[in-house]
A = this chain, B = another copy of it.
Amino acid sequence: MNRILVVIITFLSISIYAQNDEQTLKNIYKQSLTNGQSYAWLDYLSNTIGGRLSGSQNAALAVKYTKNELEKLGLDKVWLQPVMVPKWVRGTKEMAYFETELGIKKVNICALGGSVATPNGGTKAKVLEVATFEDLAGLGEAKVKGKIVFINRALQADLINTFEAYGGCSSERYSGASVAAKYGAVGTIVRSLSSKQDDYPHTGSMGYGDLPVSQRIPSAAISTNDAVALSEALKDNPNLEFYFEQSCQQFDDVLSHNVIGEITGSEFPNEYMIVGGHLDSWDLGDGSHDDGAGVVQSIEVLRLLKESGIKPKRSIRVVLFMNEENGLRGGRKYAEVAAEKGENHIFALESDSGGFTPRGFSFDCSEVNLAQIEQWRSLFKPYLIHFFEKGYSGADIGPLKNDNIVLAGLRPDSQRYFDHHHAANDTFDAVNKRELELGAATMTSLVYLFDKYGVNQVKNIPQIKD
């Protein structure tokens, strides 16, 4: 850090928080924990509506429901922002097995989102197990051609942050089929990106890049238990055959919406602060953690501000983004419209890491603003919020990035997230009410502080490269 910046940060550090901020945070947490609405909203979204894949009827129902709930809150404005989204449909439940000397072993798979179907009658072939793209390249077309490529790459268990472990394997899921197809594979089976050994296959998006339609091969995820079983069976018999069948289909884009509500600022109505999560989810579970939790927490932020008698100086918006999972169309559309209108967005907070006990936030912002946040650390201590680090903030708010905005991501405890992520067990019963409510209160507290003190503009201040 250079000396000029140290001086500036020290100067900024004088603007510490006021005594009554402690009381305000206490009120926010109390309101969320004793009279919160987030859990009831999630109950409806998960148990009455269910999984909300982009373009589905459930996604449309979720738009209607959340718009209606926002209207009940008495905000200054509530509206729908149109956005065209991809529509991919899973079709009939997938089926798969492999053959051993003992007979047929059925396994649990699911098509990856965006995959093509298997041909009529399914796909049956010998299996080539690899862990990485390097393995695949090393084997080359001669060994890959005509085979099903089985990418068996487990999440690295000794990484404390499970998102880091997930990130280490996600390109294999996303691009496995397009890479394997180039070597002549007839399908890919990818080990589920799960932290747990169980029978749930975990879906997620994949893409074919520039691969011509005629060369696209079907791609599915296999449960971690079955990945282990298949790998063991391949050691006994490298020539065993694997069969899978899936009937998923990509349709034309359809019209959907981001759902937006606003409390208009009393002093600086043209400074926008947003808080959001994504309304769409995968189709296997009910999307409670990913990202029903973020949706209801974001709505709760505006409710908690109102209930706590806070009248924001700046315009605070809740944005429920459509199509984070397989397109990010909602996030891109929101930023595009904001740019067209010349709206000055100074802050964006995303909750899309599950409804678990909040630990803090990651911040994608300047060092100057990070120093500002550091001043508030002790305000959060009674709530065991301790994590304030530079880092990735979230997919949906990413398109808003510029030199002045503060992008923030809620960071809940990550240990259980990938047990449920994109799988049939991402369900309401896996969300703890208090953990969800603590997250909403933590988000509200940060929004309150940034609204009250504003965001330090860093124009003309030397930037730090990190």
| Chain A contacts to B: CB under 8 angstroms | 29-30, 33-34, 157-158, 160, 162, 195-196, 357, 359, 382-384, 386-387, 413, 415-416, 419, 432-435, 438
Which of B30, B415, B432 contacts A434 (CB under 8 A)?
A: B415
Alpha-carbon distance between A30 and B157 when the two chains are bound, in angstroms: 8
User: How many Å from the CB of A73 to the closest CB on chain B?
Assistant: 22
Alpha-carbon distance between A158 and B34 when the two chains are bound, in angstroms: 6
- Do A415 and B438 contact each other (CB < 8 Å), given the known contacts A29-B160, A34-B157, A382-B160? yes
| Top-3 shortest CB links A-B | A30-B158, A386-B386, A415-B434
Which of B34, B160, B432 contacts A383 (CB under 8 A)?
A: B160
User: How many Å from the CB of A23 to the closest CB on chain B?
Assistant: 13
Alpha-carbon distance between A46 and B120 when the two chains are bound, in angstroms: 47
Alpha-carbon distance between A422 and B436 when the two chains are bound, in angstroms: 23
User: How many Å from the CB of A351 to the closest CB on chain B?
Assistant: 17
User: How many Å from the CB of A101 to the closest CB on chain B?
Assistant: 29
Q: Are B196 and A433 in contact, with the CB atoms below 8 A?
A: yes
Which of B413, B419, B434, B438 contacts A357 (CB under 8 A)?
A: B413
Contacts of A158 in B (CB 8 A): 29-30, 33-34
Contacts of A419 in B (CB 8 A): 432
Closest chain B residue, CB of each to CB of A432: B416
Alpha-carbon distance between A438 and B382 when the two chains are bound, in angstroms: 23
Q: Are B386 and A415 in contact, with the CB atoms below 8 A?
A: no
Q: Are A434 and B195 in contact, with the CB atoms below 8 A?
A: yes
User: How many Å from the CB of A379 to the closest CB on chain B?
Assistant: 14
* Given A29-B160, A196-B433, A415-B432, 13 other A-B residues pairs in contact with their CB atoms under 8 A: A33-B157, A33-B158, A34-B158, A160-B384, A160-B438, A162-B434, A357-B413, A384-B386, A386-B386, A413-B413, A415-B434, A415-B438, A416-B432
Q: List 30 A-B contacts (CB under 8 A).
A: A29-B158, A29-B160, A30-B158, A33-B157, A33-B158, A34-B157, A34-B158, A157-B434, A160-B382, A160-B383, A160-B384, A162-B434, A195-B434, A196-B433, A357-B357, A357-B413, A357-B415, A359-B384, A384-B386, A384-B387, A386-B386, A413-B413, A415-B432, A415-B434, A415-B435, A415-B438, A416-B432, A416-B434, A416-B435, A419-B432
User: How many Å from the CB of A385 to the closest CB on chain B?
Assistant: 10
User: How many Å from the CB of A51 to the closest CB on chain B?
Assistant: 23
Closest chain B residue, CB of each to CB of A36: B157
Closest chain B residue, CB of each to CB of A419: B432
